[in-house]
């Protein structure tokens, strides 16, 4: 009888720029989109250069697994916190189910916290993977589909703005600063690095589809909103089902300016439908229409998966709504120094030895952190413990005026 081979535990290391294309190849293969062509690499090279790329290198020198992360600011209620945005996670098909992902994730949680990140955030291709690593769904988004010919804004709903078109290439120069200035205080939005803009523009331009950038300009001549849109079916305007404008990005300083941009979109003749994926669940659009059914909000999906790396720092960095304090009992199997009791009140947060009134895992706390998921709902789903009254107190403190939303894909 032969003895089963004991594999050494996988070692995670930082991949230098010379290995980035190999890393992209592993990721592309894992996502079934490889091999990485020169054109694909041209789109991604800056993305990798702007990130910390960690991976598992095999004995023969090939890359077996990869995960990328980069530092951003993340808007939380009352502030902005340092966060690590995680992306491009993939394990080579011949190295699956032997602990590579676990090794990568656990290593990454430690290194990102050492870099100063208070939370890690990612988008998950499969919803069954990341809760075991302490991530929870902190925000969701929906697709807004508008019947353009029926859509009329109610009087006075939109800010009065003049419009200006920008060339997509000019957008790379102008929009990053505009975005950072007008980025909503809505919890969940993130900074967009310069390479993010460059790679998005490259992506749009390589699509062989027209892309337009329409901006709103305020009374001082400043851009305070922009709409980036495309149309893939421009040869079929006579077919009502195919005459579709697709919104790629819609960012505005406030909701009245956002409505001004929607109004501009309603003026895009020839199209029958406007489809805007990845919009906030509490979009005001239907409320602002004379016929609210001209806009349908559908296809709700999870957006930001959030992992609190330093629970104390994360709780202390956000503000809380008014209400009575509550003691949260948090458990974190991977980063056990986060486990313990936290007294949360509208005046601040401190660690305490008091018996918790509410029990949750770090993933459930991540889901509730930005105000997008209620503790009472998590309790009803059997994921949080505590009396109804304590759950209600926690929900009062964590509530936010707007639902969290990111709107930035990475
Ligand atoms: C998903 C993927 C990264 C998993 O990598 P892996 O090295 O095989 O995973 P591991 O062996 O380290 O498994 C870690 C844990 O995740 C679980 N797991 C692995 N793949 C999973 C999947 N597709 N769905 C649900 N759970 C999964 C394992 O059962 C294991 O659970 P446990 O530790 O609680 O027992 C890999 O299959 C892959 O690259 N898939 C394609 C790309 C992808 O989906 N990436 C995720 C990006 S968001």
CATH number for the domain spanning 279: value is 3.40.630.30
**What average pLDDT does this structure show over 202-228?**
89
Same domain? 153 vs 293: yes
135 domain residue, yes or no: no
Distances (CA, A) of 247 to 23, 144, 214, 324: 31, 10, 11, 42
Q: Is residue 288 part of a domain?
A: yes
Rounded to the nearest whole angstrom, what is the distance from the C-alpha of residue 96 to the centroid of ligand 1?
Answer: 7
Which tokens hold the place of 261?
């941009």
By the 8 A CB rule, do 293 and 267 touch? no
Residue 148 and residue 292 share a domain: yes
3 pLDDT band, cuts 50/70/90, is low
In a domain, 29, yes or no: yes
Average pLDDT over residues 267-289: 95
Query: Has residue 122 been placed in a domain?
Result: no
Q: What is the pTM of this model?
A: 0.95
Q: What would the pLDDT profile of 324-350 be if each residue is shown by its tens digit?
A: 999 999 999 999 999 999 999 999 999
Kindly state whether residue 7 falls inside one of the protein's structural domains. no
> Is residue 89 in contact with ligand 1, taking CB distance under 6 Å?
yes
Range of the domain at 78: 12-117
CATH number of 324's domain: 3.30.1050.10
In a domain, 264, yes or no: yes
Q: What per-residue string of b and e applies to 144-180 under the rule 16 or more CB within 10 Å gives b?
A: bbbbbeebebeeebbbebeeeebebeebbebbbebbe
Tell me the per-residue pLDDT of 44-100, one tens digit each, with 9 for 90 and over: 999 999 999 999 999 999 999 999 999 999 999 999 999 999 999 999 999 999 999
Q: Has residue 284 been placed in a domain?
A: yes
Residues 147 and 292 in one domain: yes
Last residue of a domain, one of 301, 335, 354: 301
How far away, in angstroms, is 97 Cα from ligand 1 center?
A: 7
- Domain-terminating residue out of 283, 301, 319: 301
Tell me, using a 6 A CB cutoff, whether residue 90 lines ligand 1. Answer: yes
Q: Are residues 289 and 310 located together in one domain of the fold?
A: no
Residue nearest to atom 28 of ligand 1 (CA): 97
Mark whether 293 and 370 lie in a shared domain.
no
What is the whole-number distance in angstroms between the Cα of residue 270 and the centre of ligand 1?
A: 45
The proportion of the chain whose per-residue pLDDT surpasses 70, expressed as a percent, equals 98
Domain count along the chain: 3
């Amino acid at each position: 009888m032969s003895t089963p081979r004991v594999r050494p535990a996988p070692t995670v290391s930082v991949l230098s720029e010379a290995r980035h294309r190999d890393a992209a190849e592993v990721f592309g293969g894992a996502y079934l989109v490889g091999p990485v062509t020169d054109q694909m690499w041209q789109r991604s090279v800056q993305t990798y250069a702007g990130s910390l790329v960690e991976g598992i290198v095999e004995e023969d020198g090939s890359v077996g697994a990869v995960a990328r992360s980069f530092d951003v600011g993340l808007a939380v209620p009352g502030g902005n916190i340092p966060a690590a945005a995680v992306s491009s996670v993939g394990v080579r098909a011949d190295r699956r189910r032997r602990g590579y992902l676990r090794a990568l994730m656990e290593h990454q949680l430690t290194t990102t916290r050492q870099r100063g990140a208070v939370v890690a955030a990612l988008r998950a291709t499969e919803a069954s993977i990341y809760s075991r690593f302490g991530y929870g769904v902190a925000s969701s988004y929906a697709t807004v589909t508008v019947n353009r010919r029926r859509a009329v804004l109610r009087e006075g709903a939109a800010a009065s703005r003049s419009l200006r078109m920008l060339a997509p290439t000019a957008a790379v120069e102008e929009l990053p600063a505009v975005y950072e200035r007008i980025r909503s205080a809505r919890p969940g939005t993130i900074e967009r690095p310069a390479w993010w803009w460059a790679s998005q523009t490259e992506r749009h331009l390589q699509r062989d589809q027209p892309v337009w950038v329409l901006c709103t300009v305020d009374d001082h001549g400043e851009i305070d909103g922009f709409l980036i849109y495309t149309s893939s079916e421009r040869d079929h305007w006579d077919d009502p089902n195919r005459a579709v404008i697709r919104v790629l990005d819609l960012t505005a300083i406030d909701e009245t300016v956002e409505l001004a941009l929607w109004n501009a979109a309603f003026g895009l003749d020839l199209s029958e439908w406007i489809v805007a994926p990845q919009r906030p669940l509490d979009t005001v659009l239907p409320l602002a229409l004379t016929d609210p059914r001209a806009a349908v909000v559908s296809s709700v999906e999870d957006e930001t998966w959030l992992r609190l790396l330093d629970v104390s720092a994360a709780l202390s960095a956000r503000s809380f709504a008014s209400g009575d304090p509550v003691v949260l009992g948090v458990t974190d199997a991977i980063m056990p120094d986060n486990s313990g009791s936290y007294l949360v009140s509208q005046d601040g947060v401190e660690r305490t030895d008091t018996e918790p009134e509410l029990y949750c895992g770090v993933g459930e706390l991540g889901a509730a952190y930005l105000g997008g998921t209620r503790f009472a709902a998590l309790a009803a789903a059997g994921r949080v413990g505590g009396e109804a009254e304590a759950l209600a107190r926690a929900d009062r403190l964590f509530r936010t005026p707007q639902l969290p939303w990111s709107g930035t894909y990475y």
